[in-house]
Amino acid sequence: MTDHDPKATPPEQPDATVDNEDTSEVKPVETMETPAAKPGNQPLAEVAAAQKAAQDYMAGWQRERAEFANYKKRVEREMADLSQSAAADAFKALLPALDDFELAMSNIPAELQGNSWLNGLGAVQRKFLKALGEAGISIIDPKGQPFDPSKHEAVATDDSSEVESGHVTATLRKGYAYGDRVLRTALVRVAN
């Protein structure tokens, strides 16, 4: 028995023989296929069926994509309408206060005309009206225009030689519109 020294180097292994073949190109491993599985041997009916199925899948995918695009547009439109409706409701709630402001400013007693405090209130009113205009609120004041029942509410008629029949003779209360939507119709008097 020979003592084995753990610090000794292991015995050398014989060198593996190196094949001198060019290994730069890797060749695919050929698998065994049955003749019916090769594309060139498939019956034409199977190819046609596969193409038809692919076309059906593509048409279905395109249809679903179009439906999703329409859904997305509809939801965006509904969200914009909801936002506009909420803004219109908020503006509509402010209109009575605006009417009171206008009524008060139009009925200032003569002895208070030119008062600096009232001039300041007038400036506040102008800023309020400017802010409404910038938000898309327009005033409906139809004096002299043809009566339009979608924007005007007739509360009386007048015999007038100055204004053509069917036209507004006086605006009793201004109306307001938000874009194309009428927030409040104008109260008017109409010529006979």
Identify the CATH number of the domain in which residue 164 sits.
2.30.22.10
Instruction: Out of 87, 103, 135, pick the residue that ends a domain.
Output: 135
Pair (82, 156) in one structural domain: no
Pair (99, 158) in one structural domain: no
Q: Within a 10 A sphere around the Cβ of 94, how many other Cβ atoms?
A: 15
Q: What is the pLDDT of residue 49?
A: 92
Q: At what angle do helices 44-106 and 116-134 cross, to 10 degrees?
A: 170
Q: What is the pLDDT of residue 33?
A: 47
Q: Which helix (H) or strand (E) holds 70?
A: helix 44-106
With a CB cutoff of 8 Å and minimum separation 6, the contacts of 140 are: 151, 152, 174, 175, 176, 177, 182, 185, 186
Domain count within the chain: 2
Q: Which of 157, 161, 163, 152 is nearest to 185 (CA)?
A: 152
Q: What is the pLDDT of residue 41?
A: 57
The answer to whether residue 107 is domain-embedded is yes
Q: Which of 151, 161, 147 is nearest to 189 (CA)?
A: 147
Pair (84, 103) in one structural domain: yes
The answer to whether residue 77 is domain-embedded is yes
Cα–chain center distance at 24: 58
The answer to whether residue 90 is domain-embedded is yes
Q: What is the pLDDT of residue 134?
A: 92
Pair (109, 184) in one structural domain: no
Pair (128, 144) in one structural domain: no
Q: What is the pLDDT of residue 192?
A: 86
61 phi and psi angles, rounded to 5 deg: -65, -45
Pair (56, 70) in one structural domain: yes
The answer to whether residue 37 is domain-embedded is no
Q: What is the pLDDT of residue 114?
A: 84
Q: Please state, in angstroms and rounded to a whole number, the distance separating the CA atoms of residues 133 and 140.
A: 12
Instruction: Out of 88, 103, 135, pick the residue that ends a domain.
Output: 135
Pair (68, 122) in one structural domain: yes
Block mean pLDDT (10 aa), the chain, length 192: 53 51 51 50 84 94 96 95 89 90 89 88 91 92 93 92 89 92 94 89
Pair (93, 129) in one structural domain: yes
Domain carrying residue 91:
46-135
